[in-house]
Amino acid sequence: MIAYHLPILQIVVPLIAAPLSAFCRRAGMAWYLALIICAASFAISVALLVRVLDEGHISYLLGNWAAPWGIEYRIDAVNAFVLLIISGMGTMVLPYARVSIADEIEPHNQALFYTCYLLCFAGLLGMVITGDAFNAFVFMEISSLATYVLVALGAKRDRRALSAAFTYLVMGTIGATFFVIGIGLVYMVTGTLNMADLAARLQGLEQNRTALVAFAFIVTGIGLKLALFPMHLWLPNAYAFAPSAVTVFIAATATKAAVYLMLRFLFTVFGTDYNVLGLTLTYMFTPLALAAMFAASTVAIFQFEIKRMLAYSSVAQLGYTVLGISFASVTGLTATMIHLFNHALMKGALFMAVGAIVLRHGAATIDSVRGLGRTMPWTMAAFVAGGLSLIGVPLTVGFISKWYLVAASLESGRWPIAVLIVLSSLIGVIYIWRVIEAAYLEKPPEGRTAREAPLSMLIPTWGLVGANIYFGIDAELTSRVAGAAARLLLWVAP
């Protein structure tokens, strides 16, 4: 009986726990509650993924109202994989967050942090699991509103977190408005909000002007949410000035949920037969992805603050994700799906290492890491390992992502794009090397004392580093799940 209700428990459990954590008098109690809830959600995600790989999709009807009249939660290999990424990273962040949050957020706001964390967590899971277009918008707003507060909580250390949160709010609101307008226009044409029903009713409406406008609004709205270049201006400041644990969480999860929505609407709701889709992928997604890969990586080279440098790197990595989408092939979408997983691992490890530096030195700049290779060896070794994965060195997950992208470009006959993928990866060597050079080849400032980060931060960090290496050596599981998701999106038989 419980197994049948796992889809709704995935959402209800963190939603109920969020207000409960606000009533916790001590931050420690709220932390324990959040950790238990996120771990339970991760276990549910694993169970759902195993089930859909064995049995096919799962359909759960809320209130037993049949779709499209009621809201349907529909789980297949695509969103089950993304659920696993979000819940897994949400769980990994919490052991790391306890010390970091105690240092970066005022004591009276720490219980509020865990409340917003669970709300954001539930909203992201809801965006991914729901089969109803308007319900996806509702969960998008839940996660976004919680994220604005989480970013603003960084104001104790840097007041610029408030302006970053405000910019994020404005841009996020614009994106959500575009998205909901598109949903409204689609509903006006089809009379339904269920995604599976939308896909059926949109067939034959390729020339309908309202549907075309809806397509444009939806793509633009989700593009703002996932920080598609050049609509990425909210992301660098949000990542740079948020508390370290928040940066790790949203970098590893938020854009992944937005990419999932983009995939779902492009290939499931509108479908590969939609005549505008091919033009959009070829003449919008491909050039914007390539521009992101080079422009954002180049800007990252000139950043002094390491969190901001990695934030621009994330924009470039999203370029790789969007490039995989633009190929509209099984190999290309496999590259996108596997990169969602791999990017969460590599950026999670990097931002965790940076958060440990912030804990010990109050900042993470090129100057503050001078000599840290000797005084914080475990932290800096984790950063180096994450950096090598980001570059795409063999035996790391970053190499697997680049391999699939290069294979997809060669398969489509666009070998110049394969060359550009390799060249853009080499730019990453420059900005990662700047940090390594300062940490290992320069002396620390006189009089500075440094201690290694606490184990509660090092263990999750090295857990992600280990995952970067393990899934870089043995990618059979992730490749199989990502391939199944890609074939499902493109309606290709296994």
pLDDT for position 449: 67
Q: Are residues 262 and 292 in the same domain?
A: no
Q: Which of 271, 295, 319 is the last residue of a domain?
A: 271
39 C-beta neighbours (distance < 10 Å), count: 15
Q: How confident is the model at residue 447 (pLDDT cuts 50, 70, 90)?
A: low
Does residue 306 carry a pLDDT above 80?
A: yes
pLDDT for position 323: 93
Q: Are residues 31 and 169 in the same domain?
A: yes
pLDDT for position 275: 78
Asked if residue 140 lies in contact with residue 129, where contact means CB atoms within 8 angstroms, the answer is: no
Does residue 148 carry a pLDDT above 90?
A: yes
Q: Are residues 356 and 460 in the same domain?
A: yes
Tokens of 357: 């530096």
If you average pLDDT over residues 69-77, what whole number do you get? 85
Q: Are residues 352 and 469 in the same domain?
A: yes
In this structure, what are the phi and psi dihedrals at residue 303, rounded to the nearest 5 degrees? Answer: -85, 140
Tokens of 416: 């110049």
Does residue 363 carry a pLDDT above 80?
A: no
Q: Are residues 242 and 366 in the same domain?
A: no
In the chain, how many domains are there?
A: 2
Q: Are residues 257 and 301 in the same domain?
A: no
pLDDT for position 185: 92
pLDDT for position 106: 84
Q: Are residues 255 and 298 in the same domain?
A: no
Q: Are residues 334 and 371 in the same domain?
A: yes
More confident residue, 294 or 1: 294
Q: Are residues 241 and 138 in the same domain?
A: yes
Does residue 456 carry a pLDDT above 90?
A: no
Burial profile 277-308: b = 16 or more Cβ within 10 angstroms, e = fewer: beebbeeebbebbbebbbbbbebbeebebbbb
Does residue 367 carry a pLDDT above 90?
A: no
If you average pLDDT over residues 14-19, what whole number do you get? 89
More confident residue, 176 or 64: 176
Convert the pLDDT of each residue in 384-435 to its tens digit.
999 999 998 899 999 999 999 999 999 888 889 999 999 988 898 999 999 9
If you average pLDDT over residues 352-362, what whole number do you get? 87
Asked if residue 124 lies in contact with residue 253, where contact means CB atoms within 8 angstroms, the answer is: yes
Q: How confident is the model at residue 462 (pLDDT cuts 50, 70, 90)?
A: very high
Q: Are residues 22 and 119 in the same domain?
A: yes
Q: Are residues 309 and 430 in the same domain?
A: yes
Does residue 355 carry a pLDDT above 80?
A: yes
Q: Quick one: angle between helices 286-301 and 306-327, nearest 10?
A: 160
Report percent pLDDT > 70 for the chain. Answer: 99
Domain that holds residue 412: 274-494
Q: Are residues 176 and 49 in the same domain?
A: yes
Q: Which of 242, 271, 300 is the last residue of a domain?
A: 271
More confident residue, 363 or 266: 266
- Taking alpha carbons only, the member of 56, 59, 55 closest to residue 67 is 59
State the DSSP code for 60: E
Q: Which of 271, 293, 322 is the last residue of a domain?
A: 271
For residue 284, give Cα distances in angstroms to 219, 245, 280, 289, 483: 11, 34, 5, 8, 25
Model confidence pTM above 0.75: yes
Q: How confident is the model at residue 453 (pLDDT cuts 50, 70, 90)?
A: confident
Asked if residue 425 lies in contact with residue 346, where contact means CB atoms within 8 angstroms, the answer is: no
pLDDT for position 320: 92
If you average pLDDT over residues 353-373, what whole number do you get? 85
pLDDT for position 466: 93
Q: Give the torsion through C-alpha atoms of 238, 242, 245, 251, to 10 deg.
A: 0
At 245, which amino acid appears? A
Convert the pLDDT of each residue in 85-109 to its tens digit.
999 999 999 999 888 888 888 888 8
